[in-house]
Amino acid sequence: MNSSIRNFEQGKRPHRPVLYHEIIHALQPHPGGRYVDGTLGAGGHARGILEASSPNGLMLGLDLDPKAIEIAKEELKEFGSRVIVNQDSYTTLLDHIHALGWKKVDGIVLDLGVSSMQIDSPQRGFSFQQEGPLDMRFNPELPESASQLVNTLPERELADLIWQYGEEPRARQIARAICQSRPIQTTLQLTAVITSVVHPQQGRIHPATLTFQALRIVVNDELNNISQVLPLAVGSLRKGGRFAVISFHSLEDRIVKQYFKMESVDCICPPRQPGCTCGHKASLKLINRQVIRPGESEMKENTRARSARLRIIEKI
């Protein structure tokens, strides 16, 4: 049984999510505000926002993971009609906002990537340290699992995938070893193949980290989803509304950083062009020009927090 679910059923609230205090401070929840948590998980950020926006702030929570939805509904039931929980992708947030009759919202939070709850579930196939089926789907109804990619892609395509989405220097050697070891059905089988090529080194990340990251990103189409949701989220904010995004690796953070930077300036013409012809106008301002990272105490308590990066914008 998932440890988060077991703890929940035993009356223990799940651990606070990454950068909890920073998110509450960033969104500045207030009574009567309307908020969206597009990556609801166990409801940690949503709970903080609902408490801070008491007595009548409203929260829309979305998540692809049916188990997360189940836990969040139970965790947040004390807030009654103040919280609406739906199983769906954050890329559909505009549809859900309109369905509720909300014209604009006061704040949006996205906590990207895989959650501790999912990693702690061996049967979900996200962990390279626990035996489980090679799955990695946030939504179990998605058509393609990591196992299908690993066992069907040609060697060159697999190597390109591991290099592009995992930024793994040994991508070609790993892809060759995978193809020579097929079929690979479980997480630990894949981990063993990877570690036969990339040997563990003290003080370095686990050799399977980047390959597992690459497969997960492709299975869930994560980077395309992030690119798609950013303009939707900004467009749904009221003037003065805030949008906070937590990312966990450079590919995610680069997309967020570049979009926020572009939409915070008026002219986006090439620097050498003598005059502006783009007509672009800034739609937001950066709240933090430097990325926000967790403090030392949080990183000691939660190893997942070490790679977290937070960026915040405000609609103008």
* Residue pLDDT tens, the chain, 316 long: 334 444 444 444 556 799 999 999 999 999 999 999 999 999 999 999 999 999 999 999 999 999 999 999 999 999 999 999 999 999 999 999 999 999 999 999 999 978 888 888 899 999 999 999 999 999 999 999 999 999 999 999 999 999 999 999 999 999 999 999 999 999 999 999 999 999 888 768 899 999 999 999 999 999 999 999 999 999 999 999 999 999 999 999 999 999 999 999 998 888 888 888 888 899 999 999 899 999 999 998 888 789 999 999 999 9
Structure tokens at 24: 């509450």
Taking the model in full, what pTM does it have? Answer: 0.91
Of 261, 303, 298, 312, which is closest to residue 282 (Cα–Cα)?
Answer: 261
Count how many Cα atoms sit within 13 Å of the Cα of residue 276 in the half-sphere of its side chain.
8
* pLDDT for the residue numbered 163: 98
The three-state secondary structure class of 36 is strand
* pLDDT for the residue numbered 14: 55
Count how many Cα atoms sit within 13 Å of the Cα of residue 172 in the half-sphere of its side chain.
1
The string of pLDDT tens digits covering residues 200-253 is: 887 688 999 999 999 999 999 999 999 999 999 999 999 999 999 999 999 999
CA distance 225 to 213: 16
Q: How far is CA 185 from the centre of its chain?
A: 26
> Do 17 and 310 form a contact (C-beta atoms < 8 A)?
no
Contacts of 188 (CB under 8 A, 6+ apart): 128, 130, 131
Of 304, 299, 293, 315, which is closest to residue 22 (Cα–Cα)?
Answer: 293
Structure tokens at 165: 């989405």
AA identity, residue 196 = S
AA identity, residue 119 = I
Bridge-based pairing of strands 105-111 and 309-315 is unpaired
The three-state secondary structure class of 16 is coil
Bridge-based pairing of strands 58-63 and 34-37 is parallel
Domains in the chain and their CATH numbers? 3-117+222-315 (3.40.50.150), 143-219 (1.10.150.170)
